[in-house]
């Protein structure tokens, strides 16, 4: 007897005269359509990118070893000096490999795509699983999100051990013969790491038990203080570009002498200036040695290379690296080389994501301009170097726990390069070098650096059309960020720290789409001076990360109880919930209660970090540390009000509130108990785990289902939805935003600065959906939330992009650090020059209406479906997820399902 | 040729990842780390080839006496830029 085929959601809906269509604005052509713009990188860049495609994500303990050894040797010294000795030793001793064909050199670790454990920050997740320490750490819920976080099985991810390679954290490979050292390092820092020390003090927060339960239930995704305490910020390369290392060492020594023993009117931090300059000096000595070591490696390879062309290249690398070890850069190549290694130096200081190089095309323009004028280079050569830079940036990996790297980052590191915006005087800042950066992004398609255009109406049409051309490669970059909205946000958040409109023009994006303040600094090159922008703020996305918005509504509806974990997360409210207003009021109370405890816990974590392992690299580079003689711990950075509260699942929250209001309290079609019963029963469907898909459209009925929930479920799905220019639904969003955007006002970071809110999902809509039961909007248990904060839930935006824009822009986006809008468009809808113009008009329209961010996947969804079935044929396929571009095969299935399910617009 | 070594022990090897690397001595070809080494094998700069390292235990852990203060070390640690590396005589 043949098995009965389970009934799919789509079939159930069809029977009820409803449908879930993931196409809007027409139908896709019968034939699968490829991406319109395709070009090839230079042979050199292609060869190096091909190496990347076949490279495994690899762990190296060399960095960890030398840091550990130096810190132990200086155990009696002041913590910041220990830190600096550690970083100097790392830079002095790291292997400095140069791979065949490279001109731009440098690596985080001894592998092409290497990273290292940093046990002084966190060590529990790479302890051996049988250890008591590992088990103890698991009890805190600190990495509970790991259970529902996924890596793609393809690409460079080492998801399983093989041969002499051991898989760590589901993504990284380590040589078997180095596992002993890995565990030795983990044990030697147990009880001393930022993670462990902060946990001791976190427990002093009276509501700590709530925090543990919140983490276990994945209502909050992760602790930021010991996982990725830096990043989501913009680099500032000014000091080394302006002075060079020898001069900086001299300046540090001079300033140390000036401040030694003199508090200079500051009885708390004044005396620390001496240690600041001494630690900075150690760091720069290490940087100088690191550059020099690359020169030595080039010498060694030149001596053993017979090919005259390659030998000459090694000698050229050698000359550059030996010189840059002491002097400031003279040429574009020098400057690009210098900022790349500085970038890696900072990345080797902490586990990090979202360290953005900033407005590179404007920082390097002086060198480009003078090289071109002098005939020292050509645009073709510059473009090739920019392609090589793309490959090198793509090789950057970060080693952190699975809940962060898998559940949040999807293995990405978010090194965002920004283009356009305004210059210091308020005119367009776009330049010729930025056109070449776009062209390099078109030809050498890679994940890093991702590109973002700081959209301003003053940007030239030629530049914007070039950006549209780049967009149509289907890589998902550049994203578009609203220059005006960002500046309004910055003036609101940082005026009390002295930020004015001129500073606001120097902003850039740190990470996916975190608005980050910068300043202008005067760079001198030969007989000319230039004002270049650079980051001037602490990490702009640290604090409460991420809050599961629909899950908190679930707590409200279930009296503070989480059915998945069986935990009473917060005190029962015991309210009858007999009005919509009562639900909303209780939602806010629970939310604020959860934020309050997480803020305190995170403040403690970051405080422990700043006491033991404060940044020394960025504390040298970021204004105004050097001038003030203060590092990050003493608020040496120009802007310090950078802590935030991030959320996920806004669209599903809003749609659920809409459905409850409409079906229970206005139409009175169902009681709240009936709704609750239907949701707890997952509307009669299997769990997403049983089905093996986190996409709504794939869900199937339980075999024993008696169809009692079919009507209520289709009513939930039919209830008004955000994204259709329907005031009924949109007003709920605006009420939410007007409350949420001010939630940070009531809290202080450890720097006694106000919080702000951040609204992007990154990849958290996968794991956070996985732990959340069915919701009143008809979404089924365990399925992925809508991506981004302003995107509609897949298949629910029926009235076209402009209706979606109306819904999205009815609130002031400048109240938030960001908002996020992802759109998927079929390639035929924007084909040719006319299509590019339409895409630009669409973008411009959203920006002019006050939307902060928009990004596109220009792809035929059938390509993605095929890639999911046959990943081996799609190693190079890139897609835009949420603020970042990633290789398809390295993304976990839940997010793949979600990208496939996004509404595909067939026309613009 | 070194029977107890793998390619990552060779001075001509430029690691790509934990499974493979480039052999600079044979025209920059890609070789699997654990495949047999060839007659051009030359010991690279790893702690296990340094005279300052004590006899490693079964996990490769040992003591480095190459600096003023002794410290633990491990045989597989790369030492190309270690100022006190001293190859075995």
Q: What's the pLDDT score for residue A152?
A: 75
The three-class DSSP label of residue A324 is helix
* Confidence (pLDDT) at A133: 63
Q: Do A55 and B71 touch (CB under 8 A)?
A: no
| Rounded mean pLDDT, A77-105 | 98
Residue B69: give its domain's CATH number: 2.20.70.100
Does B8 contact chain A (CB < 8 Å)? yes
Q: Is residue A427 a part of any domain in this protein?
A: no
A65, A95, A301 ranked by CB distance to B80: nearest: A95
Distance from CA of A876 to the nearest CA of B (A): 19
CA distance A736 to A755: 17
Residue in A320, A304, A302, A321 with CA at minimum distance from that of residue A312: A302
The mean predicted confidence, pLDDT, of chain A is 95
Percent of chain A with pLDDT over 70: 98
Last residue of a domain, one of A186, A212, A238: A212
Q: Which domain holds residue A135?
A: 43-212
Return left, alpha or beta for A231; rule: phi > 0 is left, psi -120 to 50 is alpha, else beta: left
Segment A831-847, tens digit of pLDDT: 999 999 999 999 999 99
Across the interface, of A96, A175, A179, the residue whose CB is closest to B81 is: A96
Between A51, A163, A180, which is nearest B34 by CB?
Answer: A163
| Chain A residue at shortest CA distance from B74 | A181
Number of domains in chain B: 2
For A670: left if phi > 0, alpha if psi spans -120 to 50, otherwise beta; the answer is beta
Q: Which residues in chain B have their CB less than 8 angstroms from residue A304's CB?
A: 12, 24-25
Provide the pLDDT for residue A4. 61
Burial of residue A461 (number of CB atoms within 10 Å: 0-12, 13-18, 19+): exposed
- Asked whether residue B49 falls in the same domain as residue B30, the answer is no
Whether the model clears a pTM of 0.95, i.e. scores above it, the answer is yes
**Domain-embedded: residue B87:** no
Domain assignment present for A120: yes
Kindly list the distances between the CA atom of residue A153 and the CA atoms of A106, A115, A868, in Å, as whole numbers in the listed order. 28, 19, 11
Find, in chain B, the residue whose alpha carbon is nearest to that of A175: B18
Asked if B4 and B28 sit in the same domain, the reply is yes
Most B-contacting residue of A61, A95, A304 (CB-CB within 10 A), to test interface: A95
Nearest CA in chain A to B28: A100
Peptide bond into A481 cis (omega under 30): no
Interface contact flag, B71 A69, Cβ < 8 Å: yes
Residue B79 has pLDDT above 90, yes or no: yes
Reported confidence tier of residue A1, pLDDT bands at 50, 70, 90: very low
CA distance B5 to chain A (A): 12
Does residue A32 lie in a domain region? no
pLDDT for A145 beyond 80: no
> Do residue B21 and residue B55 come from a single domain?
no
Report yes or no on A825 lying in a domain.
no
Catalytic, out of A61, A395, A444, A512: A512
Lowest average pLDDT, out of A135-144, A429-438, B16-25, goes to A135-144
Residue B16 has pLDDT above 80, yes or no: yes
- Cα distance from A112 to chain B (closest Cα, Å)? 5
Question: What percent of chain A has a predicted confidence (pLDDT) above 90?
Answer: 86
Write down the pLDDT at residue A3. 55
- Residue A6 to residues A679, A690, A893: CA-CA distances in angstroms? 20, 12, 21
Q: Is residue B54 part of a domain?
A: yes
Tens of pLDDT along A779-799? Answer: 999 999 998 899 999 989 999
Asked if the model's pLDDT at residue A386 lies above 90, the reply is yes
What distance in Å separates the CA atoms of residue A387 and residue A364, rounded to the nearest whole number? Answer: 15
Q: Do B17 and A98 touch (CB under 8 A)?
A: no
pLDDT band at residue A383 using 50, 70 and 90 as cut-offs: very high
State whether residue B40 is helix, strand or coil.
Answer: coil
Q: Are A185 and A61 in contact (CB under 8 A)?
A: yes
Three-state SS for A562? strand
Chain A residue numbers with beta carbons less than 8 Å from the beta carbon of B24 are 100, 301, 304-305
Asked if B28 has any chain A CB less than 8 Å from its own CB, the reply is: yes
Same domain, B38 and B50: no
CB pairs under 8 A between A and B: 99
Residue A180 has its nearest CB partner, among B19, B24, B59, at B59
Q: Report yes or no: A375 at the B interface, CB cutoff 8 Å.
A: no
- Give the confidence band of A149 by pLDDT, cuts at 50, 70, 90: confident
Q: How far apart are CA A316 and CA A319, in angstroms?
A: 5
Between A411 and A322, where is the model more confident? Answer: A322
Cis peptide before A353 (omega within 30 of 0): no
Mean pLDDT, rounded, of chain B: 95
pLDDT, position A839: 98
Q: Are residues B37 and B52 located together in one domain of the fold?
A: no
Q: Looking at the structure, tell me whether residues B36 and B6 fall in a common domain.
A: yes
Does residue A685 belong to any structural domain of this protein?
Answer: yes
Contact at 8 Å (CB) between A46 and A392? Answer: no
CB contact under 8 A, A57 and B76: no
| B3 lies in the same domain as B38 | yes
Is there a catalytic annotation at residue A61? Answer: no
The pLDDT, as a whole number, for residue A906 is 93
Interface probe with A: pick from B4, B10, B12, B16, most Cβ of A within 10 Å: B16
Choose the closest CB to A184 out of B8, B61, B83. B61
Q: Contact A498/A901 with Cβ under 8 angstroms?
A: no
DSSP A451-500: EEEEE-TTS-HHHHHHHHHHIIIII---EEEEHHHHHHHHHHHHGGGT--
Q: Is pLDDT above 60 for A2? A: no
Nearest CB to A65: which of B15, B60, B77? B77
Q: What gap in Å lies between CA A863 and CA A737, rounded to an integer?
A: 36
Residue with tokens 């002491």: A326
User: Using one digit for the tens of pLDDT, what is the confidence trace for A429-441?
Assistant: 999 999 999 999 9
Chosen domain end from A174, A195, A212: A212
Known catalytic membership, residue A252: no
| A164, A171, A296, A397: best to mutate for the B interface, most B CBs within 10 A | A164
Q: Is residue A23 part of a domain?
A: no
Residue B56 belongs to domain spanning: 45-80
The token duo for A165 is 């390679």
Express each pLDDT in A396-432 by its tens digit: 999 988 878 877 777 888 999 999 999 999 999 999 9
Do B12 and B27 reside in the same domain of the chain? yes
pLDDT of A91 over the 80 cut: yes
Same domain? For B1 and B39 the reply is: yes
Range in A148-157, A331-340, A602-611, A618-627 with the lowest mean pLDDT: A148-157
Q: Please answer whether residues A404 and A228 qualify as being in contact, where contact means their C-beta atoms are separated by less than 8 angstroms.
A: yes
Q: Is A447 part of a structural domain of the chain?
A: no
Nearest to A110 among B15, B73, B75 (CB): B15
Q: Any chain B CB within 8 A of the CB of A309?
A: no
The pLDDT confidence band at residue A134, using thresholds 50, 70 and 90, is low
Among chain B residues, the shortest Cα distance to A91 is held by: B81
- Classify residue A249: in a domain, yes or no: no
pLDDT at residue number A882: 80
The predicted structure's pLDDT at residue A135: 67
Domain count, chain A: 2
The answer on B2 and B35 residing in a single domain is: yes
Residues 152-211 of A with CB under 8 A from B: 156, 158, 163-165, 173-175, 177-181, 184
Give the Cα-Cα-Cα angle A409, A410, A416 (nearest 5 degrees). Answer: 55
Q: Domain ends where: A194, A212, A230? A: A212
pLDDT of A354 over the 60 cut: yes
Mean pLDDT of A307-327: 98
Task: Tell me, yes or no, whether B40 and B10 share the same domain.
Answer: yes
Do B16 and B29 fall within a single domain? Answer: yes
Is the CB of B81 less than 8 angstroms away from the CB of A55? no
Residues A847-884 as b or e (16 or more Cβ within 10 Å = b): beebbbbbbbbbbbbebbeebbeebeebbebbbbbbbb
Are the beta carbons of B77 and A181 separated by less than 8 Å? yes
Lowest mean pLDDT among A337-351, A555-569, A604-618, A693-707: A693-707
CA-nearest residue to B25 within chain A is: A304
User: A137 falls in which pLDDT band (50, 70, 90)?
Assistant: low
Q: Tell me the per-residue pLDDT of A46-67, one tens digit each, with 9 for 90 and over.
A: 999 999 999 999 999 999 999 9
Min distance A807 CA to chain B CA atoms (Å): 48
Least confident of A85-99, A132-146, A787-801: A132-146
């Amino acid at each position: 007897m043949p098995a009965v085929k389970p009934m799919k959601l789509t079939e159930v809906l069809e029977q009820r005269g409803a449908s879930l269509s993931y196409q809007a604005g027409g139908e896709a052509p019968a034939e699968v359509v490829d991406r319109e713009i395709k070009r090839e990188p230079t042979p050199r860049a292609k060869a190096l990118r091909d190496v990347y495609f076949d490279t495994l994500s690899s762990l190296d303990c060399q960095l960890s070893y030398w840091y550990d050894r130096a810190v132990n040797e200086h155990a009696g010294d002041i913590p910041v000096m220990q830190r600096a000795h550690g970083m100097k030793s790392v830079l002095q001793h790291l292997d400095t490999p140069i791979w065949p064909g490279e001109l731009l050199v440098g690596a985080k670790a001894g592998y092409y795509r290497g990273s290292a454990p940093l046990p002084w920050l966190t060590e529990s997740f790479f302890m051996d699983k049988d250890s008591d320490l590992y088990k103890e750490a698991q009890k805190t819920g600190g990495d509970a999100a790991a259970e529902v976080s996924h890596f793609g099985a393809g690409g460079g991810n080492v998801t399983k051990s093989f041969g002499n390679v051991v898989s760590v954290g589901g993504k990284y490979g380590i040589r078997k013969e180095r596992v002993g050292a890995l565990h030795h390092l983990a044990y030697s820092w147990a009880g001393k790491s930022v993670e462990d020390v902060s946990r001791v003090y976190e427990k002093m927060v009276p509501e700590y038990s709530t925090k543990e339960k919140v983490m276990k239930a994945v209502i909050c995704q992760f602790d930021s203080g010991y996982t990725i305490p830096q990043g989501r910020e913009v680099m500032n390369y000014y000091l080394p570009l302006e002075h060079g290392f020898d001069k900086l060492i001299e300046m540090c020594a001079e300033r140390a002498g000036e401040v030694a023993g003199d508090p200079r009117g500051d009885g708390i931090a004044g005396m620390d200036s001496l240690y600041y300059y001494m630690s900075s000096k150690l760091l720069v000595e290490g940087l100088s040695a690191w550059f020099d070591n690359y020169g030595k490696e080039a010498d060694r390879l030149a001596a053993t290379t017979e090919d005259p062309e390659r030998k000459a290249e090694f000698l050229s690398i050698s000359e550059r690296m030996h010189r840059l070890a002491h002097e400031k850069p003279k040429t574009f190549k020098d400057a690009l080389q210098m900022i790349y290694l500085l970038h890696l130096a900072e990345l080797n200081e902490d586990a990090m994501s979202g360290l953005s190089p900033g407005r590179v095309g404007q920082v390097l323009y002086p060198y480009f301009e003078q090289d071109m004028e002098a005939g020292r280079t050509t645009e073709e050569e510059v473009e090739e170097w920019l392609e090589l830079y793309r490959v090198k940036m793509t090789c950057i990996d970060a080693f952190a726990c699975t809940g962060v790297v898998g559940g949040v980052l999807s293995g990405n590191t978010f090194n965002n390069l920004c283009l356009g915006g305004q210059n210091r005087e308020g005119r367009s800042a776009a330049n010729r070098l930025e056109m070449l950066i776009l062209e390099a992004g078109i030809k050498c398609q890679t994940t890093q650096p991702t590109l973002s255009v700081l959209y301003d109406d003053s940007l030239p049409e030629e530049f914007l059309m070039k950006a549209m051309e780049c967009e149509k490669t289907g890589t998902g970059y550049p994203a578009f960020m609203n220059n005006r909205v960002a500046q309004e946000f910055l003036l609101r958040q940082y005026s009390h720290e002295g930020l004015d409109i001129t500073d606001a023009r120097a902003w850039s994006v740190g990470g996916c789409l975190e608005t980050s303040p910068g300043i202008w600094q005067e760079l001198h090159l030969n007989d000319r001076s230039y004002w270049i922008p650079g980051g001037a703020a602490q990490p702009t996305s640290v604090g409460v990360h991420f809050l599961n918005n629909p899950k908190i509504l679930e707590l409200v509806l279930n009296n503070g109880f989480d059915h998945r974990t069986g935990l009473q997360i917060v005190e029962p409210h015991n309210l009858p919930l007999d009005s919509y207003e009562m639900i909303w009021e209780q939602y806010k109370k629970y939310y604020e209660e959860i934020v309050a405890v997480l803020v305190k816990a995170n403040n403690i974590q970051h405080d422990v970090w700043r006491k033991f392992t404060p940044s020394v690299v960025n504390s040298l580079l970021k204004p105004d540390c050097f001038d003030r003689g203060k590092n990050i711990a003493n608020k040496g950075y120009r802007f310090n009000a950078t802590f935030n509260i991030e959320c996920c699942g806004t669209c599903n929250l809003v749609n659920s509130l809409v459905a409850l209001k409409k079906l229970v309290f206005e139409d009175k079609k169902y009681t709240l108990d009936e709704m609750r019963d239907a949701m707890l029963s997952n509307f009669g469907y299997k769990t997403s785990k049983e089905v093996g898909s986190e996409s709504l459209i794939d869900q199937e009925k339980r075999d024993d289902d008696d169809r009692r929930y079919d009507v209520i479920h289709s009513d939930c799905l039919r209830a008004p939805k955000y994204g259709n220019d329907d005031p009924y639904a949109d007003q709920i969003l605006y009420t939410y935003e007007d409350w949420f955007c001010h939630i940070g006002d009531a809290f202080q970071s450890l720097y006694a600065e106000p919080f702000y809110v951040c609204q992007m999902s990154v990849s958290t809509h996968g794991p956070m959906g996985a732990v959340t039961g069915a919701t009143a909007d008809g979404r089924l248990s365990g399925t992925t939330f809508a991506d981004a904060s302003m995107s509609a839930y897949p298949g629910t935006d029926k009235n076209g992009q402009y209706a979606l824009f109306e819904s999205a822009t009815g609130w002031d986006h400048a109240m938030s650090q960001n908002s996020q809008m992802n759109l998927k468009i079929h390639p035929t809808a924007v084909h040719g020059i006319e299509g590019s113009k339409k895409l630009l008009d669409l973008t411009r329209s959203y920006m002019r209406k006050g939307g902060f961010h928009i990004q596109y996947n220009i792809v035929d969804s059938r390509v993605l479906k095929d890639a999911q079935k046959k990943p081996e044929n799609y190693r190079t396929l890139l897609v835009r997820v949420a603020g970042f571009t990633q290789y398809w095969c390295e993304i976990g299935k839940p997010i793949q399902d979600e990208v496939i399910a996004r509404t595909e617009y067939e026309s613009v | 040729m070194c029977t107890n070594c793998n390619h990552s022990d060779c001075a001509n090897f430029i690691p790509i990842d934990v499974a493979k690397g480039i052999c600079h001595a044979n025209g920059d070809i890609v070789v699997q780390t654990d495949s047999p080494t060839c007659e051009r094998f030359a010991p690279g700069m790893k702690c296990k080839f340094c005279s300052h390292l004590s006899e490693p235990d079964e996990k490769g852990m040992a003591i480095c006496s190459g600096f003023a203060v002794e410290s633990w070390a491990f045989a597989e640690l790369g030492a190309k830029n270690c100022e006190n590396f001293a190859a075995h005589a």
